[in-house]
Amino acid sequence: MRIGIGVLLLICMSVSPVWAEPEEIEKKGCRDCHRFSSEEKQPARGPDLFYAGDKFHENWLKEFLQSPKVIRKVGYITDPGFPSGNPEVSQPHSTLTHEESARVSTFLMTLHLPDYETGKVDDVPLSKGARAQAKMLFERNFGCIACHEALNLVGKVRGGVSGPTLVDSGLRLKPDWVFRWLKSPEKFLPRGRMPVFNLDDETAIRITKYVLSIRTKK
């Protein structure tokens, strides 16, 4: 029994640092802009992170935290300065060291929504013809280009800036999260500006794959 308890304690001690909230969350004032639990009061400055493990790729997070790029040019929708296009939160995001970003990213990857369904979007890329059709859905049928940056046929950035840029979004966002967002954006952001299109699964999957294929990096 003593050996069993000793082994259990050793396992717990080795696992707990991975799950424990890193001190950088407090030191860098991350909660000033982000929620890490759905129970926290909305800070009205930045996107929620209590489902970061469902939403982001860890490698992208590590790179972003060390060398941030502006994703929302006019700020997050709940920023008081959003309507005027002059966000109160300074951009780009504050930076972390390599070690700090590794600790924070590892922690964020442990944050998930309960009963979150995955596996709806496979990793088979769209054919050339299917991608052209999905591009038309994105730009013409649903007008996504009015709020989001994408790439034109010659690889130049075009589109609106009231929403986050979707250029290189495949490096940032996980397929199942994009699919869930397209299907039910109100579940993630009840008072957001994202339209609810009531998409069927097939259409949502096609748009998801198109969005994630908008890349400058190959």
pLDDT above 90 covers a percentage of the chain that reads: 69
The per-residue pLDDT for range 61-71, each reduced to its tens digit, is 999 999 999 99
Q: Please state which of the ranges 134-148, 186-200, 203-217 shows the lowest mean pLDDT.
A: 186-200
The per-residue pLDDT for range 86-99, each reduced to its tens digit, is 777 777 788 999 99
pLDDT value of residue 19: 65
Per the model's pLDDT, the better-predicted residue between 91 and 160 turns out to be 160
Backbone angles phi, psi at 138, to 5 degrees: -65, -45
Q: List beta partners, residue 150.
A: 158
Q: Is 151 in the same domain as 193? A: yes
Q: Is the pLDDT of residue 41 over 60?
A: yes
pLDDT value of residue 44: 66
pLDDT value of residue 61: 97
Domain boundary among 80, 108, 136: 108
Task: Give the length of the chain.
Answer: 218
- The domain in which residue 136 lies consists of 128-212
Q: Is the pLDDT of residue 80 over 80?
A: no
pLDDT value of residue 9: 42
Cβ atoms of 72 and 164 closer than 8 Å: yes
Q: Is 32 in the same domain as 104? A: yes
pLDDT classification of 170: cutoffs 50, 70, 90? very high
Average pLDDT over residues 96-125: 95
Q: Max alpha carbon distance in the chain (Å)?
A: 68
Domain count within the chain:
2
Q: Is 69 in the same domain as 141? A: no
Q: Is 142 in the same domain as 76? A: no
Q: What is the pTM of this model?
A: 0.86
pLDDT classification of 196: cutoffs 50, 70, 90? very high
Q: Is 22 in the same domain as 103? A: yes
Q: What is the distance between the alpha carbons of residues 91 and 50, in angstroms, rounded to a whole number?
A: 22
Look up the CATH number of the domain holding residue 95: 1.10.760
Helix axes 201-212, 128-136, angle to 10 degrees: 100
Q: What is the distance between the alpha carbons of residues 66 and 190, in angstroms, rounded to a whole number?
A: 31
Q: What is the distance between the alpha carbons of residues 176 and 55, in angstroms, rounded to a whole number?
A: 8
Domain boundary among 64, 79, 108: 108
pLDDT value of residue 20: 86
Per the model's pLDDT, the better-predicted residue between 4 and 17 turns out to be 4
Average pLDDT over residues 180-195: 91
